[in-house]
Amino acid sequence: MFKYHCLNPLSQTGLDHFNTNYQKTDDLKDADCILVRSAKMHDLTLDPKTVAVARAGAGVNNIPLEDYARQGVVVFNTPGANANGVKELVIAGMLLASRDIVGGVNWSKDNASDPDISKNMEKAKKQFKGTELAGKKLGVIGLGAIGQMVANAAVSLGMEVYGYDPYISVNAAWNLSRDIHHETNPARLYAEADFITVHIPLLDSTRGMIDRAAIESMKKGVILLNYSRDVIYDEAAVMDGIAAGKIRKYVTDFPNPLTAGKEGVIATPHLGASTEESEENCTVMAVKELMDYMENGNITHSVNYPDCTMGICSSDGRIALLHHNTKGVIAKYTSILGDAGLNITDMTNKGKGDFAYSLVDFDGELKAETVEALEGIDEIYKARVIK
Ligand code: MLT
């Protein structure tokens, strides 16, 4: 029996995908694995029995990935599971920025008691006039699951789309409409686009990526969209750009004291993935990732360890070793397993950055002292007996 703890409320339909080997616990310290949406985990101390964290969503800036990796805790995310929900809000954001829909809705509310509203609206409406999306140029920075969907949808709306992603995957490239122009230099995209939207993870290398110089090189009247994370834009420069008339609108899903309620800003409270479908998809994917890890030691969609799968164990036993990615570790643990009289029947080792993961199937009886000896290897953070 495994216990899971939810740090945020998550879709119950999604959680129902846990099989009968799993029980929910309200006590974080009692959890073998944790599910999280937006709760900040940087100040949380995990119990040594916790071996996995799954984020129901794509961004993982609320989780201390390296610290957890050193504790032998694998962190998962759910790439693509909420992409459609975010894509639809990006399209809505472009429409809200192009036409004063919110102003018009508010006008109708404010004039609800006017018996001549039907007549007066014909005079009032000119103040809410806007522009159309068709024929405009959209620059998409980041063509992962969300960026590619936004780019394709914009093509269907008649926009001319320019995509920039130096790390695009082969799969993402295949999924892109042939009508999308591939940009290898963001400077060209900045200079051309009427709308710019970013769909990149928050990393040290992407923090403040849309900086003052980038904004200065954009077209006058550009509309900027932010459905990634607020600090990807230099928002002080964005606010200056609005004041100077350079930026027509800044549409952000991450309001903060600098941007909320300000002229030229359209802000929603992190609603990108807030749909029944996205919440359910994310939770289902997170639950499946956790179950495969807890029961088989298989890793799919980890953000701090390499992906590594070996199916279901058909030997006497399986052990997972989470370790520093350096030379000599495999020799050390295989020698301990051999000395303990165990015959390795299958194994795999994968490394990613500083961290590596080994799955070892064996025949014979694994004793507690052998596990202790494995954990005694300096480079090994955790030895987890799977079977
Ligand atoms: C994400 O990173 O995928 C979103 O932040 C998801 C969410 O709204 O929780």
Average pLDDT, the chain: 97
pLDDT in tens, 90-101: 999 999 999 999
Which atom of ligand 1 has the smallest separation from the CA of 82? 3
Residue 202 Cα to ligand 1 midpoint, Å, equals 12
For the full predicted model, state whether its pTM sits above 0.75: yes
152-161, 166-175, 183-192, 374-383, range with the lowest pLDDT: 166-175
Cα 84 to ligand 1 centroid, rounded to whole Å: 12
Per-residue pLDDT tens digits for 248-295: 999 999 999 999 999 999 999 999 999 999 999 999 999 999 999 999
Beta-carbon contacts of 361 under 8 Å, excluding residues fewer than 6 positions away, are: 310, 313, 314, 315, 317, 318, 344, 345, 346, 347
Residue range 110-120: mean pLDDT, rounded: 98
Six-digit token pair at 81? 């599971």
Pocket of ligand 1 (CB under 6 A): 37-38, 57-59, 82, 270, 272-273
Strands (E), 152-264: 160-164, 181-183, 195-198, 222-226, 247-252
Q: Please tell me the predicted confidence (pLDDT) of residue 282.
A: 98
Is the pLDDT assigned to residue 138 strictly greater than 90? yes
By most ligand atoms within 8 Å of CB, the mutation choice from 10, 11, 37 for ligand 1 is 37
Q: What is the average per-residue pLDDT within 47-60?
A: 97
CA of 60 to the centre of ligand 1 (A): 9
Mutating to test ligand 1, I would choose from 6, 36, 38 the residue with most ligand atoms within 8 A of its C-beta, which is 38
User: Residue 168, class by beta-carbon neighbours within 10 Å (0-12 exposed, 13-18 middle, 19+ buried)?
Assistant: middle
Three-class secondary structure assignment of 299-365: ECCECCCCCECCCCCCCCEEEEEEEECCCCHHHHHHHHHHHCCCEEEEEEEEEECCEEEEEEEEECC
Nearest Cα to 317, choosing from 348, 283, 284, 363? 363
- Which position has the token pair 């110089």? 213
Looking at the CA of residue 57, tell me the nearest atom of ligand 1: 3
Q: Which helix (H) or strand (E) holds 12?
A: helix 12-15
Residue with CA closest to ligand 1 atom 6: 57
Residue 91 CA neighbour count, 13 Å, CB half: 19
User: How much of the chain exceeds pLDDT 90, in percent?
Assistant: 99
Average pLDDT of the residues in 21-25 = 98
CA distance 150 to 86: 9
Identify the CA nearest to 241 among candidates 219, 260, 266.
219
Centre of ligand 1 from the C-alpha of residue 58, in Å: 6
Overall average pLDDT of the 181-201 stretch: 96
Q: What's the gap in Å between 255 CA and the centre of ligand 1?
A: 15
Q: For residues 77 and 37, what is the distance between their CA atoms, to the nearest angstrom?
A: 10
Nearest CA to 282 out of 28, 4, 33, 35 is that of 35
pLDDT in tens, 225-237: 999 999 999 999 9
Q: How far is CA 309 from CA 281, 284, 315, in A?
A: 22, 19, 15
Secondary structure E strands in 201-293: 222-226, 247-252, 265-267
CA–centroid distance, residue 78 to ligand 1 (Å)? 10
Average pLDDT over residues 186-193: 96
CA distance 324 to 70: 8
- The reported pLDDT for the residue numbered 233 is 98
For a mutational test of ligand 1's pocket, the pick from 82, 149, 228, i.e. the residue with the most ligand atoms closer than 8 A to its C-beta, is: 82
Among protein residues, the one whose CA lies closest to atom 2 of ligand 1: 59
DSSP string across 83-121: HHHHHHHHHHHHHHHHS-HHHHHHHHHHTTT-TTHHHHH
Most informative mutation of 270, 271, 301 for ligand 1 (most atoms within 8 A of CB): 270
pLDDT digits (tens, 9 = 90+) for 332-382: 999 999 999 999 999 999 999 999 999 999 999 999 999 999 999 999 999
Q: For residue 375, how far is its CA from the centre of ligand 1 (angstroms)?
A: 36
Query: Which residue's alpha carbon is at the smallest distance from atom 4 of ligand 1?
Result: 57
Mean of the pLDDT values across residues 172-178?
93
Closest atom of ligand 1 to CA, residue 271: 8
What is the 273 CA–ligand 1 centroid distance (Å)? Answer: 6
Instruction: Tell how far the Cα of 274 is from the centroid of ligand 1, in angstroms.
Output: 8
pLDDT reported for residue 171: 87
